[in-house]
Amino acid sequence: MKKLSFMLLSLVAVTLFTSCNKDDDPVNKQSYTSAINCRAINGTDVAFSQATAQIDLNYTDMTIKFTTNYKDIDGMSHTLTAPEMKLNPSPGSTIYRFEGSLNEMGPGNGYIDLATGMIWFTFKPQSDATVYYLSTHLLYAYTTTTITNPGNGFSYNHEQSAYLFVPNARGDSCTMSISNFTPNTSGSIEVSEIQYERLEMTPTEGGYTITAAQVAPKNYKGSHYTLNDLNITLDNQGRAINGTFKCNDLEFRLAGYLFPSSTL
């Protein structure tokens, strides 16, 4: 997997360390809190909510459990307490699948990337037709970026960049962070971390749409890194990214996944 900046890793979920255990305790555990974004979907109705989850990983037994609040389609708050669920590895990757019974909430299943802390989870209560999709801030570390110079038609593909989207509490705006930003067709990384704030975000039945006519970076002055005509879709319930934008007289096209496509 491409190298991610410290900022990107810290924003998505976790400080990547295991908790301290007693000398006679052989269990290797990690407990942490993380922002959780939730979309409740019932037919064509979509409701967004954001909360903080308590997440517990047991690396000896390879299990995960977590507790978080979320809101239903009518804006009512609930608490989800997921029991210990076994982490099942995807061969050749850092991705683990997990599933379990949530009692009256019905079955739930999801994925975690132990390299980044990225978590995606879904469940459907037995009592109604609403489906819930929960995730940490969406980090697309498995993405191909195609950069085209429209002046001469030359294109360059690379997998160096990762894209992180951090919604605000209402889900109508977000910050996009790009790791290893390469606004050229030579493949050279110009910026290790660049951030764009207040992009328009819309939760949808399939994920999110993100748009901006023009946006300058938060952490760089001047117009060299200003983005234009940004249009990004996070679909497959947030597990895939497709989009375009323009920067520095170049055209960018993004295509990739939250987790490697072979694990889904």
pLDDT confidence of residue 258: 95
Q: Are residues 103 and 146 in the same domain?
A: no
In total, how many domains does the chain have?
Answer: 2
Q: Are residues 156 and 259 in the same domain?
A: yes
Q: Are residues 127 and 57 in the same domain?
A: yes
**56 in a domain, yes or no?**
yes
pLDDT confidence of residue 42: 96
Q: Are residues 144 and 258 in the same domain?
A: yes
**1 in a domain, yes or no?**
no
Q: Are residues 143 and 220 in the same domain?
A: yes
Q: Domain ends where: 118, 135, 152?
A: 135
**32 in a domain, yes or no?**
yes
Residue-range definition of the domain harbouring residue 22: 6-135
pLDDT confidence of residue 13: 47
For the chain, which ranges sit under pLDDT 50?
6, 13-23
| Edge-to-edge strand list for the sheet holding 162-167 | 138-140, 162-167, 173-181, 191-203, 208-215, 227-235, 240-247, 250-257, 142-148, 155-158
pTM (global) more than 0.75: yes
- Backbone φ and ψ for 10, nearest 5 degrees, come out as -70, -30
Q: What would the pLDDT profile of 45-95 be if each residue is shown by its tens digit? A: 999 999 999 999 999 999 999 999 999 999 999 999 999 999 999 988 899
Distance CA 196, CA 173 (A): 11
pLDDT confidence of residue 260: 87
Q: Are residues 252 and 173 in the same domain?
A: yes
CATH code at 36? 2.40.128
